[in-house]
Amino acid sequence: MLAKRIIPCLDVTAGRVVKGVSFVELRDAGDPVEIAKRYDQQGADELTFLDITASSDDRGIIFRIIEQVAEQVFIPLTVGGGVREVQDVRNLLNAGADKVSINTSAVVNPQLVADAAARYGSQCIVVAIDAKQVAPGKWEVFTHGGRKATGLDVIEWAQKMQRLGAGEILLTSMDKDGQKSGFDLALTRAVTDVLEIPLIASGGVGNLQHLADGVKQGGADAVLAASIFHFGEYTVQQAKQHMAKQGIEVRL
């Protein structure tokens, strides 16, 4: 049967992989190409790169990184950050990305999701949603790296993105991100249950049981994590073995 996916996430700025807690105290985690190769060898199912570069002057760096990774790593690569128009999608795909993740721009201009999906296929359009709990069982969509409230309900928004042609939803809990206390399982479950397309859970992973919980309790089709892999706490292979022991189908 289809395996649940483990996706290491690489936040990239100025040509380096970094990781911070809620976008502050960025800590250097190394060279993105080397890290990508390491995760590939460990059995990562996909890789996600988020370009968190603030200055548009440095945008070229992510293209060179993706080109280099794509020459050496033969698993799906997703790239997000700064995607504003269909041309941006095209440029990233041409650099070697297999999927492009759209976050803020999907809110600013939902038609971008529809246009990009129509042109390049739903399989390469991931819509990333940053969610913050506003009431019991209720979450709001935030944009601009979590700084801006939109008034949009996460569940309705995810369904709308599916209708417009998203092939997958990357759902990050802002409340949990960087806390290492596990995914927001209620959020994950609430969104995956209304979707026909796959859901990637993100935000909050601090140990291997959190990954298993995201699948078993949250109902996620894939789990994304950054810091537990970057700083050598665990390998992707250890994560998979931990999940397999609990009866979760994984690619070992």
Partner 1 sequence: MVDVAIVDYGMGNLRSVYQAVRKVAPHADVCVTDDAQVIANAQRVIFPGQGAMPDCMRELEARGLRQAVLDAAHNKPFLGICIGLQMLFEHSAEGDVPGLGVLAGEVLRFDAHMKDAQGNQLKVPHMGWNGVKHGDHPLWAGIAQDARFYFVHSYYVKPREAGGVQATTDYPQPFVCAVARNNLFAVQFHPEKSAAAGLQLLQNFINWNPV
Q: Which is the catalytic residue, given 40, 51, 88, 130?
A: 130
Give me the residue label for tokens 């971008």. Answer: 112
Half-sphere exposure of 152 (CA within 13 A, CB side): 21
Cβ–Cβ under 8 Å, residues 102 and 112:
yes
Q: Identify whether 130 is a catalytic site residue.
A: yes
Enclosing H/E stretch for 213: helix 208-216
Q: Does 197 bind partner 1 (CB under 8 A)?
A: yes
Q: Identify whether 40 is a catalytic site residue.
A: no
Q: Does 28 bind partner 1 (CB under 8 A)?
A: no
The β-bridge relationship of strands 5-13 and 199-202 is unpaired
| Piece of the chain touching partner 1 by CB under 8 A; list 88-96, 138-146, 149-157, 235-243 | 88-96
| Piece of the chain touching partner 1 by CB under 8 A; list 25-33, 51-59, 106-114, 195-203 | 195-203
Query: In the set 31, 98, 115, 153, which binds partner 1 (CB under 8 A)?
Result: 98
Cα three-residue angle 110-115-116, rounded to 5 degrees: 100
| Piece of the chain touching partner 1 by CB under 8 A; list 10-18, 90-98, 127-135, 145-153 | 90-98
Give me the residue label for tokens 């690569």. Answer: 77
Q: Does 123 bind partner 1 (CB under 8 A)?
A: yes
Pick the closest to residue 50 from 76, 75, 16 (CA basis).
16
Cα three-residue angle 187-190-24, rounded to 5 degrees: 20
Q: How many residues bind partner 1 (CB under 8 A)?
A: 35
Minimum Å gap between C-beta 71 and partner 1 is 6
**Rounded distance between C-alpha atoms, residue 163 and residue 149, angstroms:** 22
Cβ–Cβ under 8 Å, residues 131 and 154:
yes
Q: Does 135 bind partner 1 (CB under 8 A)?
A: no
Q: Which is the catalytic residue, given 11, 45, 88, 221?
A: 11
Binding site for partner 1 (CB under 8 A): 1-5, 40, 45, 70-71, 74-76, 93-94, 96-98, 119-124, 167-168, 193, 195-199, 219, 221-222, 251
Residues taking part in catalysis: 11, 130
